Amino acid sequence: MHAIEITQPGGPEVLSLGDKPTPEPAQQEVLIKVHAAGVNRPDVVQRMGHYPPPPGASDIPGLEVAGEVVALGNKVKRYVVGDKVCALVTGGGYAEYVNAHELLTLPVPAGLTLIEAAGVPETFFTVWHNLFQRAALKPGESCLVHGGSSGIGTTAIQMAHLMGARVYTTAGSPEKCQTCRELGAELAINYREQDFVEVLKAQSRGMDVILDMVGGDYIQRNMKVAAVEGRIVSIAFLRGAQAEVNFNPMLLKRLTLMGSTLRAQSVESKARIAEELALHIWPLIEAGKLKPLIDSIYPLAQASKAHQRLESSTHTGKIILSG
């Protein structure tokens, strides 16, 4: 099969289309003929040599796919050959075929194309796990989403808004801020022109939940705008994982600081996320109230251009590779 290889750690140019053996599904796996795959920040970090796949996982990048089931492991019970599905995988998505555990595979929601469905698993699993399972965001609470125009951000805004939270966000241009407002953000702050700390301190009593992928100096600034009993969830550190921080606000406001990565978690842990998504989020998608925002689509052979687009931070929403 055709697949994208990382020829060596480095920039987007190290991604190359090559040939790999077509995988065979294990007992509880389905083999998916990939129609489309999502492009995510962890793929970039893996390409740079800083995020190796877990033991036993494919070294081909790609953590989410949509396509058609073409073969089954002998203990698979949920799917049959021909089913249209999307799946969270530990690697291997940038390829013509990939194996996925049946518990981490979900039917393509009615109303979504396979291209759109490919932008769901990694992003929706991440947002649900961090905002609702870990931070326990509740209706009526305030939620600050940094990077509101990213794939994670556009999903988090919609999901938090539909679940009854008041959503605030930061983004890097007037156009991106407008998109965030259209998706459900009550206030979108252009961080290139305004200090989100000053704006939010004037606008609200503080943020109950903060979803942060920026890190660096945002670590301290998040504590400044957090409400009493606020929960701050870190899922990436685009500005760096190290910072000089005054932790007094954590004590005075009784803050909870937490973080997570998804890829290395157990199948059982990720299966619980899948179950809750099927129960709470799939009906919203099928009702037309929620969908991934697609920025751009590239052929599989142009994975390097897709990575260039992602790293430019000029995109709004998800970037997809089409098989």
| Contact present, 319 and 310 (Cβ < 8 Å) | yes
Strand, coil or helix: 254:
coil
* The predicted structure's pLDDT at residue 222: 98
Specify the number of domains making up the chain. 2
216 contacts 244 by C-beta, under 8 angstroms: no
Residue 111: CB atoms within 10 Å: 12
Cα 164 from Cα 283, distance rounded (Å) = 16
Place of tokens 């994670």: 152
User: Same domain for 146 and 249?
Assistant: yes
DSSP run (H or E) holding 52: none
Please provide the DSSP assignment of 15-35 as one string: EEEEE-PPP---TTEEEEEEE
Per-residue pLDDT, 282: 98
> What's the CATH code of the domain at 234?
3.40.50.720
Same domain for 63 and 143: no
* Same domain? 139 vs 101: no
Using an 8 Å Cβ cutoff, are 33 and 68 in contact? yes
Which residues, in sequence order, are bridge partners of residue 165?
none
Measured between alpha carbons, how far is 282 from 107 in angstroms, rounded to an integer?
9
Tell whether 58 and 171 lie within a shared domain: no
Q: Is the domain of 253 the same as that of 150?
A: yes
| DSSP line for 77-121 | -S--TT-EEEEE-SS--SBSEEEEEGGGEEEPPTT--HHHHTTSH
Nearest partner of 165 among 201, 129, 206, 137, judged by Cα = 137
| Same-domain status, 66 and 133 | no
- The reply to whether 252 and 279 lie within a common domain is no
Last residue of a domain, one of 259, 281, 301: 259
**Same domain (yes/no): 238, 298:** no
DSSP letter for 12, please: G
Can you give the pLDDT at residue 204? 77
Q: Are 86 and 108 in contact (CB under 8 A)?
A: yes
pLDDT, tens digit only, all 323 positions of the chain:
999 999 999 999 999 999 999 999 999 999 999 999 999 999 999 999 999 999 999 999 999 999 999 999 999 999 999 999 999 999 999 999 999 999 999 999 999 999 999 999 999 999 999 999 999 999 999 999 999 999 999 999 999 999 999 999 999 999 999 999 999 999 999 999 999 999 999 987 899 999 999 999 999 999 999 999 999 999 999 999 999 999 999 999 999 999 999 998 999 999 999 999 999 999 999 999 999 999 999 999 999 999 999 999 999 999 999 98
For residues 231 and 148, membership in a common domain is answered with yes
235 and 211 in contact (C-beta within 8 Å)? Answer: yes
Domain boundary residue, one of 236, 259, 282: 259
pLDDT score for 121: 98
CATH at 30: 3.90.180.10
Residues 214, 235 contacting (CB under 8 angstroms): no
Domain boundary among 240, 259, 278: 259
Please name which of 114, 203, 219 lies closest in space to residue 167, comparing C-alpha atoms: 203
Q: Which domain does 110 fall in, by range?
A: 2-120+266-322
One domain for residues 194 and 89: no
Tell me which residue of 264, 275, 150 sits closest to 213, measured CA to CA.
150
Q: Are residues 146 and 228 in the same domain?
A: yes
Compute the distance between CA of residue 229 and CA of residue 256 in angstroms, rounded to an integer.
7
Buried b (16+ CB within 10 A) or exposed e, 221-237: bbbbbbbeebbbbbbbb
- Which amino acid is it at 243? A
Q: Are residues 271 and 180 in the same domain?
A: no
